[in-house]
Amino acid sequence: MRKMIILGTLVACMAVLGVLPIYAAETVTVTGEIIETYCYALMGAKGESHRQCGIECVQKGIPAGLLEDGTNKVYVLLPNKDRSPLPKTVIDKMARKVTITGKTYATGGSQFLTIESIK
């Protein structure tokens, strides 16, 4: 019994310290600009002037993201189920403000947002 308590305490400490990945699924609604993550990460590219490049990059497989208003937090956008593409609306609304409702996940220092609805 004592070994189980020690093991449980050790696992809890590792989780708190970030040694173990932590997955949290919380439904949220986030408003911001849809971005293409490569050019945004390397050059800060966003907005209407980067729209066509963003569309082309996402069509070629570079991940789309959502740049949250007010916080500048970037969520990598994911479909709401495995083996599914992102909704066509993501490309249609590239570089424009949207509101997405979905689940957030954090692992390895990255933030992810599934798309359950997009307006």
Please determine, for residue 11, whether its predicted confidence score (pLDDT) is greater than 50: no
Whole-number Å distance between alpha carbons of 107 and 42:
22
Q: What is the pLDDT of residue 98?
A: 97
pTM of the full predicted structure? 0.78
The H-or-E segment that residue 4 falls in is helix 2-17
Angle, vertex CA 67, rays to CA 64 and CA 71, nearest 5: 155
Per the CB < 8 A criterion, the answer to whether 113 and 77 are in contact is: yes
Tally of CB atoms within 10 A around 84: 10
Q: What is the pLDDT of residue 1?
A: 59
3-class state of residue 50 by DSSP: helix
* 14-29 residue pLDDT tens: 444 454 455 668 899 9
Q: What is the pLDDT of residue 17?
A: 47
* 59-110 residue pLDDT tens: 999 999 999 999 999 999 999 888 999 999 999 999 999 999 999 999 889 9
Is residue 7 very low, low, confident or very high in pLDDT (cuts 50, 70, 90)?
A: very low
Q: Calculate mean pLDDT across residues 41-45.
A: 96
